[in-house]
Amino acid sequence: MNKNKFALITGGSRGIGFGIATTLAKKGYNLGLISKNSERLHLAAKELANTFPDIDVECYSADVSVTIQVSQAIDFFMKNQKDIDVLINNAGVLHTGAIDSFDLETYQSLVMTNQIGSFNVIKLVASRMKEQKKGYIFNIASMSGLRAWANYGAYASTKFALVGLGQSLRKEMLPYGVKVTSICPGAVATDMTADLDMEEKDKIQPEDIGRLISCCLDMSHSVSIDYIPVECSSLA
């Protein structure tokens, strides 16, 4: 195991998570990837390891909405890493629709992943970062967590909750030398936005979110960023 800093990324096998992983790998971070899809996860880890041979890449398949699976995954990485320097709290799902047509089961699946799942991960990693007295937690929220569009109410409610959790956590963790920032992007070029009536080139690119996080990591210790809205230029 080399002495590079370590970043833990949920939902790291594709989309925004993989884009961030690629950026942090370029920055020299060792990576720990968590994803529900085991096959896709191992392919992503292999690709990153082959592209960036000077870093270590570990992965663990887990559903963040299942508390015991999250606990087992975090334990796995904590045993193998001296510190968790960065947490990218990214795993999430998107379902849209008018409230009167939205069934409770689908809404519960949103809450369990986007809200409960995020809490599960944060709770465990925050304790470790308090002990080590350093670290940076990034919550990947959404512009829908700052302002809600029609037919996005169910999804938006989970992202509003994540932004609120992040705002409280930022103040809680400051005395321990730990930073917390919520990233709130609009439409990102991933399979989750494939049905949007926008060309892929006009969407935010996953690597753009990685670059933004890289910039935050390079800030001095005196900088504390609550949340960052990221608009598509074609919609701003």
**Residues belonging to the active site:** 155
Residues linked to residue 180 through DSSP beta bridges, in sequence order: 137
Torsion of CA 186, 190, 191, 193, to 10 degrees: 20
Contact 24, 54 (CB under 8 A): no
Contact 145, 184 (CB under 8 A): yes
| H or E segment to which residue 6 belongs | strand 6-10
Range list of H helices, 62-152: 67-80, 104-110, 118-132
Token digits for 177?
A: 């030398």
Q: How far apart are CA 47 and CA 32, in angstroms?
A: 14
How far CA 165 is from CA of 68, 120, 122, 158, in Å, comes to 21, 12, 10, 11
Token digits for 35?
A: 């994803």
